[in-house]
Amino acid sequence: MNRHTIPVVRTEPSVSTAVDYRNQKEPFTRPEPVRPPSGAPNVLLVMLDDVGFGAPSAFGGPCRTPTAERLAADGVKYTRFHTTALCSPTRAATLTGRNHHSVGFGVIAEQATAAPGYNGTRPDSAATVARILQGNGYATGAFGKMHQTPTWEISEAGPFDRWPTREGFDRFYGFLGAESDQFSPVLYQDFTVVDPPRTPEDGYHMSEDLVDRAIEWIESVGTMDPDKPWFCYLPFGACHAPLQVPDSYLDKYRGEFDHGWDRQREITLERQKQLGVVPPETELARWAPDLPHWDDLDDDRKTASARLMELYAAFLEHTDDQVGRLVDRLQELGALDNTLVLYMLGDNGASAEGGMEGSFNYLAGLNGYKQTTAEVLERFDELGTPTSYPHYPASWAMALDTPYQWTKQAASHYGGTRNGLIAHWPKGITDTGTLRHQWHHCVDITPTILEAVGVPAPDTVDGVPQKPMEGVAMNYTFTDADAADRRTTQYFEIYGNRGIYDHGWTAVTLHRAPWLMATYGLKLPTFDEDRWELYDTSVDWSQARDLAAEFPEKLEELKQKFLVEAARYQVLPLDDRTVTRNAAPQDRPPHPLRGRTSITLYPHMHGLPEKAAPPLFNRSYVITASLETGGGPCAGILASLGGRFGGLALYVADSKPVFCYNFSGGGQTFVRPDVELTADTREVRLEFDYDGGGIGLGGTARLSVDGDEVGSARIEHTTRAIFSMNEQLDIGVNRGSPVCDDIVGRFAFSGRLHHVRVDLPGDDRPETAAERQRVALATH
């Protein structure tokens, strides 16, 4: 059969047929399904989120990862494996075998522009490894965070081409956005929104749920077709903020980080040297400018900072324990020996997005609201629980990226791009418990899987000619620890932070500090003003000694090489914008409402992500619910956007209409009239009149029933840009976390809700409002 084409082309035998079946001499051959090559392994690809090189104990870090250590003891551990420095880009590169800009993911999906390298739309010419394996007879399943579906396509209208089950996965269970509440996630099963199987009160946690679903799927495939290998992709939402852990893990690290981040870097580096994951002569790279040292903090900040780090460590250990449950089950099923496990301990470096002081509600920081230690201490005992959405201070990210410089988003330095990788495959890796120091990149994962399976990278997939693989298979390292590097050049770029690796040398420039992602009005230098650094990593493992002044010719050579690679892989034009990336009209992704000033939503519809919902930020709007109470007591959601850490909700409680605005910067405002809905009630209406003249300003909310105003309230401040990264606009039911405490569980409306209409008055069409908002963000 021809495996260079997907679907696989097979030559069917020619059989002469008789007129009467009684006279049929030649037997017919029943078509058989395509099968992988004999002995092809199962493949388990595990990806953790926001885990720096110096975080897991398997690589010398303070967070206990017994499963990673166990797999490394029976496999191999890679010390020079790299990612892109950001979520969506790493996932796209990992699953396609092409560089992230080559497949349109130079930035996260939510910030896509029209530029080819940043449009957030994987081209058909770069099929995923899942589709290739599926076409070669594998069962394929994905469980967790995808973050590659264009946000404007997440609705009932689709299109669904870039949803997981159209990108090669037979089954999908997880979420599509950048992050999620671990206790109250909005989950999809294939194309359908589904409720978590338990509530937070019943002990639900998403990481556990994902592993449960993965195990069930593997068991089902093995039961029905024991000879069919599977590809299981398990990309956790952990350990991305929010740092939320089960009660049993809350106190696992009490007091273990009271010594602070500076001392932790020293402790971690010593452990790394003992493990051999860095050479004995490795130095701590320089501390990032502007970040405080531990001794600079007062006692309150030390208390809050240590506690937030304790939660992160517990989060990572809990996640690793869930991987352990899956590995244990594979062993019980007799499947582990011929399963290639690739355990990526991070999709980028540790995250500095918690700001200088950390946060109780990390989403507030994404809107540019400064989070303070006082807020963390005020609700100290809630940290890590369902009522918190915390993140640690940026200085901890530096410690978790030991011994390297910088953090997530810093595609310039290894702190943003170097992550631990473990490969485990008893039937394919015999030199176990050893280290691999070859230089590799996440773009090499897909070629590695294909070589292990024994199938080629196809020339065409579903009739579309394929781009050549840009990754290099790592399998040559499985049996030869001393093999020469086969990947010798690799560019990096995220938000204008850029670098290039070439035969041991690195030239890098940090254009934008990672903790400045949501700082409005920030004036950045031009790209020509950036200062480049030069490191010889063949003798300076951690990029600690800048040689730019000593070797200016070498630096210039590498700067030019970066430009060549950038042009080759669609990196240009460079773009350093973050929250303002869509400010220009030509950059705006297509909004599904396409300029409509009124949209009617129905209870049977799945929720709409904020990027696909009517834009309700920095503008006036009207929400009108058409309903029948049924004549008796009624309660439930009419419309809800966002959740516990920022959002708004129009609902009925004890037969009375209520509107709640939950400001992301802190505080809730209610319109709660003492008016009961009756059997004759047909309409509940919320009008919000925005003050105008800027972003995040106030307005007046007015509630009316059947045309009569029944209550109003002044809202002094509104959220600037985003309520959440994964909650939705829901009609008639609550999914995800509640906007306020009146809302418990699904809180489905008990009467009959016909529809909810959202009106955007005047000339504030969705694209006009969105443009005004983005321009305001750009100039605020």
Residues 669/660, Cβ–Cβ less than 8 Å: yes
DSSP type of residue 333: T
CA angle in degrees (0–180, nearest 5) for 299-304-305: 95
> How many beta carbons lie within 10 A of that of residue 250, not counting itself?
16
Task: Say what the pLDDT of residue 531 is.
Answer: 97
Arithmetic mean of pLDDT, 651-662: 98
pLDDT tens, position by position, 36-93: 999 999 999 999 999 999 999 999 999 999 999 999 999 999 999 999 999 999 999 9
pLDDT band with cut points at 50, 70 and 90 for residue 583? low
**Sole residue written with tokens 């089902």:** 220
Give the closest residue to 247 by CA, choosing from 386, 51, 389. 386
Cβ within 8 Å of residue 684, ≥6 positions away: 624, 625, 627, 638, 650, 652, 657, 677, 703, 704, 705
CA 98 to chain CA centroid, Å, is 19
CA 416 to CA 406: how far, in whole Å?
A: 6
Using alpha carbons, select from 330, 437, 431, 439 the residue that is nearest to residue 41: 330
**CA distances for 506 relative to 127, 345, 402, 657, angstroms:** 31, 23, 18, 62
Question: To the nearest 5 percent, what fractions of the chain are helix, strand and coil?
Answer: 25, 20, 50
How far CA 224 is from CA of 139, 219, 221, 227, 229, in Å, comes to 11, 9, 5, 9, 12
Helix (H) or strand (E) holding 140, with range, is: strand 139-145
Q: Which of 158-162, 496-500, 554-558 has the lowest mean pLDDT?
A: 158-162
Please name the amino acid found at residue 627. Answer: L
Q: What's the pLDDT at 371?
A: 87
Asked whether residue 778 carries a pLDDT value surpassing 70, the answer given is no
Q: What is the pTM of this model?
A: 0.96
Q: Is the dihedral of CA 154, 160, 164, 167 positive or negative?
A: negative
Query: 480 versus 520: which is more confidently predicted?
Result: 480
CB 495 within 8 A of CB 511: yes
| Confidence band for 592, pLDDT divided at 50, 70 and 90 | confident
Q: Model confidence at 26, in pLDDT bands (50, 70, 90)? A: very high
From residue 532, alpha-carbon distances to 73, 321, 551, 552, 564 in Å are 39, 41, 12, 10, 17
Q: Quote the CA–CA distance of 660 and 336 in Å, as a whole number.
A: 51
Q: What six digits make up the tokens of 549?
A: 């002044």
Residue 596: predicted pLDDT? 87
The pLDDT of 284-303, averaged and rounded, is 97
> Can you list the domains of the chain with their CATH numbers?
42-474 (3.40.720.10), 497-583 (3.30.1120.10), 591-779 (2.60.120.200)
Rounded CA separation 666/660 (Å): 13
Asked if residue 184 lies in contact with residue 737, where contact means CB atoms within 8 angstroms, the answer is: yes
Give the integer Cα–Cα distance in Å for 321 and 328. 10
pLDDT recorded at residue 25: 92
Cα 286 → chain centroid: 29
Reply yes or no on whether the pLDDT at 538 is more than 70: yes
Q: 501-519, pLDDT tens digit by residue?
A: 999 999 999 999 998 865 5
Please report the pLDDT score of residue 780 as a whole number: 29
Residue 248's contacts (CB-CB under 8 Å, 6 or more residues apart) are none
DSSP string, 166-183: GTT-SEEEEE-SS---SS
* Contact status, residue 682 vs residue 671, Cβ threshold 8 Å: no
Q: How far apart are CA 54 and CA 403, in angstroms?
A: 7
Q: Please check the confidence at residue 311 and state whether its pLDDT lies above 90.
A: yes
pLDDT at 535: 98
Residue 364, helix vs strand vs coil: helix
Residue 464: closest CA among 121, 125, 97: 125
Per-chain mean pLDDT for the chain:
94
| pLDDT at residue 765, rounded to an integer | 41
Distance CA 7, CA 14 (A): 21
First to last CA, the chain: 61
Non-local CB neighbours of 142 within 8 Å, separated by 6+ positions? 130, 164, 169, 171, 172, 173, 174, 232, 233, 234, 235
Determine contact, residues 344/45, Cβ cutoff 8 Å: yes
Residues contacting 94, CB < 8 A, separation 6+: 45, 47, 344, 347, 442, 443, 445, 446
What are residue 423's phi and psi, to 5 degrees?
Answer: -115, 130
| pLDDT confidence of residue 776 | 40
249, 614, 685 from 619: Cα distances, Å: 43, 11, 17
Q: Edge-to-edge, what's the strand order for the sheet holding 460-461? A: 5-6, 460-461, 464-465
Look at residue 18 in the predicted model and tell me its pLDDT: 95
Residue with tokens 């040559």, as numbered in its chain = 476
Q: Are 70 and 326 in contact, with CB atoms under 8 Å apart?
A: no
* Burial bucket for residue 445 (CB in 10 Å: 0-12, 13-18, 19+): buried
Identify the CA nearest to 641 among candidates 579, 572, 705, 731: 731
SS3 (DSSP) at 621 = strand
- In the three-class reduction of DSSP (H, G, I as helix; E, B as strand; rest coil), residue 750 is classed as coil
Packing angle of the helix pair 66-73, 299-332 (nearest 10 deg): 50
Q: Are 774 and 721 in contact (CB under 8 A)?
A: no
Structure tokens at 540: 């300076």
Helix or strand holding residue 560 (H, E) = helix 552-568
Task: Give me the phi and psi of 671, to 5 degrees please.
Answer: -110, 110
> Which segments of 196-298 does DSSP mark as H helices, in order?
206-224, 260-275
DSSP symbols for 100-128: TGGGT-SS-GGG--SSGGGSS---TTS--
Position 769 scores a pLDDT of 47
Amino acid 777: pLDDT = 43
* Model confidence at 763: pLDDT above 90: no
Give pLDDT, residue 584.
64
